Amino acid sequence: MLHLTVHHSASEGTEYWLTRPMITIGRTGVNDVVIDSLGVAPNHARLSLTEAGDAYRIEALESLLGTFVNGQRIRSAILEPGDRIRFGSVDAILTDDPAPAPSAYAAEDDAAQRAILRIAELEAQLKSRENQLGDVSRELALKTSELNRVQAELHQTRTALAQSQQDHANSEENWHYRYNTLTAELLDARQQRDAALAEAANYKARLEDTERRLAELDESARKRIQRGHDTISALRRRSAQQDSEMREARYEIMKLRRGKEAADTLLESVKRCYARDKKQHTRLVEQFRERARQENLRAEHALSQLAKLTDAVRAS
């Protein structure tokens, strides 16, 4: 009769008679051959009787350190008497003993002992599961309480969100009204700006015409002054008076040029100020008009004086 001798140490060995067609080997108590070693997997190997019934086949299962037969790692092999087997870090040997196998009662006692050990193990697992179930129940109660609190907060949040949406709708309506009002005001301001720009362009054209006239007058005055210089030798007694009048005329022309530059500066200021303040733009336009009127009066006065000077020069 074949039996497997498992050597737990150098001086200790346990014999297992192979009396079943399938025998499991591992570290847990559910196996037929229990090897209590960390190097042995819970379900390490399995022995199954061949179809001929005269030998056992060994199959390696979920073992990390592997199963070896006569020093060779195997996945499956046919065992023969005398083969040395190593389950992880534990050695065993298969022998064929002509002595009779243990009685059925002894095998049944071994099975009953294993069953008792299995029941004890299952009871320990059941107690552990009951403890885990208690922990899960307590955690579930905490989660339920937290869920109720979250649902209450969610209800409050939804209420606040509905109120916020209503407020947002009212605010959006107000903003639309204000937007339409501001858009109308902006269109009106743009129209007024365009009108002011057109008026400023008209003023600019008039200033350019005045500048052209001043240039013509300046050129004519230069010619007349040149002619006056030709007759100065004959009019020495009146030269001082005429020089004074010419200086005054030049001074008036210089003032007219400065007035033109000031008018140009004022026009640019009007353009910049109009975008900021409509009332200030109106006031600046009035000032510009008054300044232009004064400059026209000064130009007319200068022209009048220049005409008088010309008449005096011609008369002399």
Give residue-wise pLDDT tens across range 135-192: 777 778 888 888 888 888 888 888 888 887 887 777 778 888 888 888 888 888 888 8
Beta strands in 98-173 (DSSP E): none
Q: How far apart are CA 43 and CA 95, in angstroms?
A: 23
Q: Are 3 and 85 in contact, with CB atoms under 8 Å apart?
A: no
Tokens for 142? 């905490």
pLDDT at residue number 99: 53
The DSSP code for 29 is T
Q: How far apart are CA 70 and CA 290, in angstroms?
A: 124
Band of the pLDDT at 278, cuts 50, 70, 90?
A: low
**If you average pLDDT over every residue of the chain, what do you get?**
79
Phi, psi (degrees; rounded to nearest 5) at 74:
-130, 160
Number of CB atoms found within 10 A of residue 172's CB:
10
**CB-based contacts of 205, cutoff 8 Å, min separation 6:** none
Q: Tell me how far apart the terminal alpha carbons of the chain are, to the nearest angstrom.
A: 167
Tokens for 310? 């010309």
Q: How far apart are CA 284 and CA 275, in angstroms?
A: 13
Q: Are 67 and 92 in contact, with CB atoms under 8 Å apart?
A: no
pLDDT at residue number 58: 94
* pLDDT per position as a tens digit, 26-55: 988 888 899 988 889 989 999 999 888 889
Q: Which helix (H) or strand (E) holds 269?
A: helix 236-276
Q: How far apart are CA 296 and CA 273, in angstroms?
A: 25
For residues 235-243, give the mean pLDDT: 65
Tokens for 315? 């008369």
pLDDT at residue number 70: 94
Its pTM surpasses 0.75: no
In a 10 Å sphere around its CB, with 0-12 CB exposed, 13-18 middle and 19+ buried, how is residue 28 labelled? middle
If DSSP codes are grouped into helix, strand and coil, which group holds residue 23?
strand
